[in-house]
A and B are shown apart, each in its own frame.
Chain A
Amino acid sequence: MVKVTIDDKTIEVELGTTILSAARQIGGEVVPPAMCFYSKLPGTGGKCRTCLVEVSQGSEKDPRPMPKLVASCSTPVMDGMVVKNKTSERVHEGRGGVVEFLLINHPLDCPICDQAGECHLQDLGYEHGGQGTRYEEERRTFDPIDIGNKIKLHMNRCILCYRCVAVANQLTDKRVHGVLNRGEHAEISTYIENAIENDFSGNMIDVCPVGALTDKTFRFKSRVWFLKPMEASCECTKCSGKAVVWMFGNEIFRVTARKDQYGEVEDQDGKAGWICNDCRFDKKDVSKWNIAGPRMINRHSVISQGHYQSPRQSIKKIN
Chain B
Amino acid sequence: MQSLSNKRKVVSDKPMTFMEKLYLPAIIGGMWITFKHLFRKNNTIKYPEEQRVFAPVYRGMHVLKRDEEGRENCTACGLCAVACPAEAITMVAGERKKGEEHLYREEKYAETYEINMLRCIFCGLCEEACPKEAVFLTDRIVPTEFERGTFIYGKDKLVEPVDSRIDITKRQHTGKRTEK
Q: Is the CB of B132 within 8 A of A111?
A: yes
Contacts of A220 in B (CB 8 A): 76, 93-95, 108
A281 CB-CB contact with B under 8 Å = no
A299 CB-CB contact with B under 8 Å = no
> Among B75, B81, B82, which residue has its beta carbon within 8 angstroms of that of A112?
B75
| A38-46, A160-168, A221-229 - interface stretch | A221-229
Interface of A is mostly: loop
Q: Is the CB of A302 within 8 A of B75?
A: no
> Among A109, A144, A226, which residue has its beta carbon within 8 angstroms of that of B78?
A226
Report the nearest B residue to A108, measured CB to CB: B131
Excluding A111-B132, A112-B75, A112-B77, 14 further A-B contacts by CB distance (< 8 Å) are A109-B106, A110-B131, A111-B77, A111-B79, A111-B106, A111-B131, A112-B107, A116-B77, A220-B76, A221-B93, A223-B78, A223-B82, A226-B78, A226-B82
Instruction: Map CB proximity to A onto B33-61 as digits: 1 under 8 Å, 0 otherwise.
Output: 00000000000000000000000000000
Minimum-distance CB pairs A-B, first 10: A111-B77, A223-B78, A220-B93, A112-B108, A111-B75, A220-B108, A111-B131, A112-B75, A220-B95, A112-B106
Bound-complex Cα distance A226 to B90 (A): 10
Instruction: Map CB proximity to B onto A298-315 as digits: 1 under 8 Å, 0 otherwise.
Output: 000010011000000000
Q: Is the CB of B82 within 8 A of A302?
A: yes
A259 CB-CB contact with B under 8 Å = no
A219 CB-CB contact with B under 8 Å = yes
- Nearest CB in chain B: distance from A76 CB, A: 43
Bound-complex Cα distance A144 to B107 (A): 10
Bound-complex Cα distance A39 to B149 (A): 53
Contacts of B94 in A (CB 8 A): 220
